[in-house]
Amino acid sequence: MRVKVIVTLKNGVLDPQGKAIQQTLNGMTFDNVSEVRQGKYFDIDVNESDENKAKSQVEEMCKKLLANLVIEDYKIL
Amino acid sequence: MKSSVIIFPGSNCDRDMDVALKKFGFENQMVWHNDAKIPKCDLIVLPGGFSYGDYLRCGSIAGKSRIIKSVIDFANSGGLVLGICNGFQILTETGLLPGILQQNKYLNFICKNVFVKIKNKENKYFKKIDKDVLELHIAHNEGNYFCSNDELKSIEDNGQIAVTYCDHKGNEDEKNNPNGALKNIAGIFNKDKNILGMMPHPERMIDPFLSGEDGSLFFNNLIESL
């Protein structure tokens, strides 16, 4: 089955790319954009039919590789 | 003294490091990332570069490569492990050093000489260096050191800050912080001070005709300390 994961920066962690995107949007007349935070999205195909098992494996993957918990949070969709 | 430089796919400072180590008397060997074991040595170096194209996060993929288990075992047994630039990023991703190197604050790749202040000389890496401020070279896109407030307090309390960005007189102000790093941090130790990660490249400053010689001070001290 396919598991979807989103990795985002924790609140308070500087996101210079998000900031640059926000400023660009403001310059493009989208001047009501007050903040942009950039993250990562993963589609992971796991050879496992049990949804709970697949998600718990993906959770391990998030902790060990996909996210760096010093600065990032993950969310399994 | 024997040293091992580990080569990852995308390392590009491995040969410069090999030249530098040999120049100052190390018997150096190059070790491939997919080897199972590191040959017996006194120092392991993780060189600069762009291992695995900086995919996912800088150093994250290299941090899971086959050789890393023996690097961790060597480090945990007190062996000296030095990570320069991408090597520093790999050390944080393996958890051997706290924190992480984020993208530079102003989103630019920085390639220039900088001054760094030595913050702690009670270790083998800086013990006998007479100077307090060194001129070294940096070349990176992700050198913006970050860690949590608790972690910062802990590394400050344990004297784990190794070098900080400063001017030629040693002023560590925001003006001389090239990448936005927390507290101008350019390099840190682990608690036991046998592991050092730093963004500046001492191996690029070993020839008075090409660059400068403050890197020579670093390697001279290192071989004398071992």
- The pLDDT score that the predictor gives to residue A12 is 87
* pLDDT tens digits, B52-96: 999 999 999 999 999 999 999 999 999 999 999 999 999 999 999
Which of A 6-65 lie inside 8 A of B, CB atoms?
13-14, 16-17, 20, 65
Chain-chain contact of A16 with B64 (C-beta, under 8 angstroms): no
Residue B210 reports pLDDT greater than 90: no
Contacts of A20 in chain B (CB under 8 A): 107
Chain-chain contact of B107 with A70 (C-beta, under 8 angstroms): no
Q: Which of B85, B147, B166, B172 is catalytic?
A: B85
What is the pLDDT averaged over residues B208-219?
93
Q: For residue B18, give the H/E element and its range.
A: helix B14-23
Single-letter amino acid, residue B187: G
Specify the pTM. 0.94
CA of A28 vs chain B CAs: smallest distance (Å): 20
* pLDDT tens digits, B189-209: 999 999 999 999 999 999 998
Going from N- to C-terminal start, the domains of chain A cover 2-76
CA of A16 vs chain B CAs: smallest distance (Å): 6
For residue B97, the chain A residue with the least C-alpha distance is: A70
Chain-chain contact of B146 with A14 (C-beta, under 8 angstroms): yes
Residue A14 pLDDT level (bands cut at 50, 70, 90): confident
Of B57, B92, B107, the CB nearest to A16: B107
Which range is least confidently modeled, A19-23, B132-136, B138-142, B156-160?
A19-23
- Catalytic-residue membership of B166: no
Chain-chain contact of B105 with A16 (C-beta, under 8 angstroms): yes
- Catalytic-residue membership of B203: yes
**C-alpha B111: how far from chain center:** 16
* pLDDT tens digits, B40-50: 999 999 999 99
CA of A15 vs chain B CAs: smallest distance (Å): 8
Residue B171 reports pLDDT greater than 90: yes
SS3 A62: helix
Pick the CATH number of B2-225 from 3.40.50.300, 3.30.470.20, 3.40.50.880, 3.20.20.300: 3.40.50.880
CB B99 within 8 A of CB B194: no
* pLDDT tens digits, B150-164: 999 999 999 999 999
What is the pLDDT averaged over residues A47-73?
96
* pLDDT tens digits, B13-40: 999 999 999 999 999 999 999 999 999 9
Residue B211 pLDDT level (bands cut at 50, 70, 90): confident
What is the pLDDT averaged over residues B105-130?
96
- Catalytic-residue membership of B33: no
Residue B226 reports pLDDT greater than 90: no
- The pLDDT score that the predictor gives to residue B119 is 98
Residue B57, chain A, CB below 8 Å: the answer is yes
Residue B109 reports pLDDT greater than 90: yes
CA of A70 vs chain B CAs: smallest distance (Å): 6
Select the residue from B52, B55, B56 to test the A interface by mutation, using most A Cβ atoms within 10 A: B56
CATH code, A2-76:
3.30.1280.10
Of B98, B100, B103, the CB nearest to A16: B103
What is the pLDDT averaged over residues B214-225?
96
Q: What percent of chain A has pLDDT over 90?
A: 92
Residue B98 pLDDT level (bands cut at 50, 70, 90): very high
